[in-house]
Amino acid sequence: MATEKQINYVLGLQEDLELVIELDEKYSKKKLEKMSYHEISPIIDILKDLFDENRSEIIDVKTDFIGMVHDARGY
């Protein structure tokens, strides 16, 4: 079975990637929990590659969001 760490990693990568691109397929926690280690490993590899390709855009979006929160709170 897939480990909790692997499942959370996939969910986190999906969340970050959705900030900048639309994913063809999104995996739910329930679906990931049913997967074996060998089924989830290729998904992790694909998502990591996508994340690496879009890293700067993801960082920009997160930085902009943090800036908006700081501005709203008056920091």
DSSP characters over 11-75? HHHHHHHTTTS--S----HHHHHTS-HHHHHHHHHHHHHHHHHTHHHHHHHHHHHHHHHHHHHT-
Residue in this structure with the two tokens 């943090």, named with its chain if needed: 66
What pLDDT score does 68 carry?
Answer: 79
pLDDT for the residue numbered 66: 76
Q: pLDDT tens per residue, the chain (75 residues)?
A: 999 999 999 999 999 999 999 999 999 999 999 999 999 999 999 999 999 999 999 999 988 877 777 777 876
Q: What is the pLDDT of residue 75?
A: 67
pLDDT at res. 53: 96
